[in-house]
Amino acid sequence: MTVLGPADGDGSGPAVTVGGVALDREELFAAAAAVADRIQGAPVVAIDADASVRTIVATVGCLLAGAVAVPVPPDAGPRERGHILTDSGSLLWLGDHRDDVTLETVPVSGRSSSSWTEPATGTAMIMYTSGTTGAPKGVPITRAAIAAGLDGLRDAWSWSPDDLLVHGLPLFHVHGLILGVLGPLRVGSPLVHTGRPTPAAYAAAGGSLYFGVPTVWGRVAADPPSARALRGARLLVSGSAGLPAPVFHDLRSLTGQGPVERYGMTETLITLAARADGPRKPGWVGGPITGVTARVVDDDDAAVPGDGETIGNLQVRGRTVFDGYLARPGETRAAFTADGWFRTGDAVMVDGDGNHRIVGRVKDDLIKTGGFRVGAGEIEAVLLSHPSVTEAAVIGVPDPDLGQRIVAYVVGAGIREDVLVQFVATELSVHKRPREVRVVDALPRNALGKVQKSRLS
């Protein structure tokens, strides 16, 4: 199944605009055809995936040529970049010269009148995981998986050619590149990428559909004039981490709507999504998109109650799920159950209507304390609702008595540990209260704004 829509479009205006540089659909495909001409025959091609029109042209060029695209974070260090290039088997480098890149560098410029027909099958991209537990792992993503995921989201969000998508997310992740670039190209809706996802840039773009991560939406909510400028939008979408309830409520007050949330991974693309016409609750990411099924199980793979409270392990399967890690058969086997379900590694709750709430990573966010299973995300949401707290992260640390002790890292002003502990104890079960509160200047985050809990100690 091909990923891109037709090359000609309706010619009524820019198809993509990044940082003020615009291309209509014909110009985009002509520039991409020039890339396809230059890389013809190369099976795997790396892209210096900065936030530019050039990255979009390079990606479309690889899709047209049938080359596997490998988006490389522009801020990757030489060691990480070298690992990605070697592990993926990339033969060419699309982008500017870098001293540490020994591959042949191919410029992304010019136009071609060549006619290219996009292949309908095969691997479209290799994306790399964050490498939090070792070297980043390559995830081959097929054209069929991308097409199925985008079509599922088109249905869930009533995404149409009449929409104008606005975002400023990195172009080397699923959210920014696959959803945020290939999505509008497939649907036929124009894209405005703001370069950086600032509140002022979002306000000025005049979109009907906006993508953001919680950090972005938190900044928008903290800038009321910019937030109010989004009142004309049809849909706000948040992903990559749970949206704090205070941000959700502030946005609803300022823009007239709370964002819908969705869930996915590099390995699965987007699998769960709250629908545009469905209920919106902060922290809840809806149910499976078309073509995907999900189950929530205990440690023995037995189903847990769908009561909206019991925590279990999320497993998924379907058309968006990858087949396995690149050249890592052992890790691939460990990632799937015997009956073919992918173990996401995320802890969730599911209610009677099939809506899911992501508690967090089983490894980092599921805390086993005093015989109870506690989700860090639930405690974080309560902490963030306290007026003194602007950021919060909860972890479990080894404890000789409890097994794990709940420790909260918080950012804010005028914070008193005893007050926060009591606040959580009155909002949640007493056993979910932090045993320790540590006030810090900032929480460590990655490029998408996710808190890196492995760096908390």
CATH number at residue 330: 2.30.38.10
Is pLDDT at 234 greater than 90 in this prediction? yes
Strand ordering across the sheet containing 403-412: 389-399, 403-412, 436-439
139 inside domain: yes
286 inside domain: no
Domain boundary among 252, 280, 308: 280
108 inside domain: yes
Is pLDDT at 133 greater than 60 in this prediction? no
272 and 196, same structural domain? yes
The per-residue pLDDT for range 85-108, each reduced to its tens digit, is: 999 999 999 999 999 999 999 999
405 and 327, same structural domain? no
Task: Tell me what percent of the residues of the chain surpass a pLDDT of 90.
Answer: 78
Is pLDDT at 426 greater than 70 in this prediction? yes
pLDDT on residue 448: 64
Is pLDDT at 236 greater than 90 in this prediction? yes
**HEC-encoded secondary structure of 252-316:** HHHHCCCCEEEEEECCCEEEEECCCCCCCCCCECCEECCCEEEEEECCCCCECCCCCCCCEEEEE
CATH number at residue 388: 3.30.300.30
H-helix or E-strand spanning residue 237: strand 235-238
285 inside domain: no
Q: What's the pTM value of the predicted model, to 2 decimals?
A: 0.86
222 and 115, same structural domain? yes
218 and 95, same structural domain? yes
228 inside domain: yes
301 and 385, same structural domain? no
CATH number at residue 125: 3.40.50.12780
309 inside domain: yes
215 and 70, same structural domain? yes
Among the listed residues 334, 343, 296, 292, the one whose alpha carbon sits nearest the alpha carbon of residue 317? 292
Q: Count the residues in the chain.
A: 457
Q: Which structural domain, as residue segments, surrounds residue 338?
A: 291-354
Confidence of residue 77 (pLDDT cuts 50, 70, 90): confident
pLDDT on residue 289: 98
143 and 251, same structural domain? yes
Among the listed residues 43, 26, 129, 11, the one whose alpha carbon sits nearest the alpha carbon of residue 80? 129
Counting beta carbons within 10 angstroms of the beta carbon of residue 414, is it exposed (0 to 12), middle (13 to 18) or buried (19 or more)? exposed
| Six-digit token string for 122 | 């095969």
Supply angle C-alpha 289, 295, 299, rounded to 5.
150
Euclidean distance between CA atoms 75 and 79, whole angstroms: 11
- Count the domains in the chain: 3
Domain boundary among 229, 247, 280: 280
Euclidean distance between CA atoms 457 and 351, whole angstroms: 34
203 and 60, same structural domain? yes
273 and 302, same structural domain? no
CA 452 from chain center: how many Å? 15
DSSP 3-state of 333: helix
402 and 303, same structural domain? no
303 inside domain: yes
209 inside domain: yes
End-to-end CA distance of the chain: 46
pLDDT on residue 134: 63
The per-residue pLDDT for range 286-311, each reduced to its tens digit, is: 999 999 999 999 989 999 999 998 98
Confidence of residue 373 (pLDDT cuts 50, 70, 90): confident
DSSP 3-state of 85: helix
Looking up tokens 């210096």 gives 48
| Six-digit token string for 190 | 């124009």
Among the listed residues 243, 394, 354, 368, the one whose alpha carbon sits nearest the alpha carbon of residue 298? 368
Query: Per-residue pLDDT averaged across 329-353, rounded?
Result: 95
Is pLDDT at 391 greater than 70 in this prediction? yes
Domain boundary among 354, 372, 394: 354
pLDDT on residue 10: 66
| Six-digit token string for 267 | 């390995």
Task: Tell me what percent of the residues of the chain surpass a pLDDT of 70.
Answer: 98
Euclidean distance between CA atoms 142 and 331, whole angstroms: 19
pLDDT on residue 430: 85
156 and 50, same structural domain? yes
276 and 152, same structural domain? yes
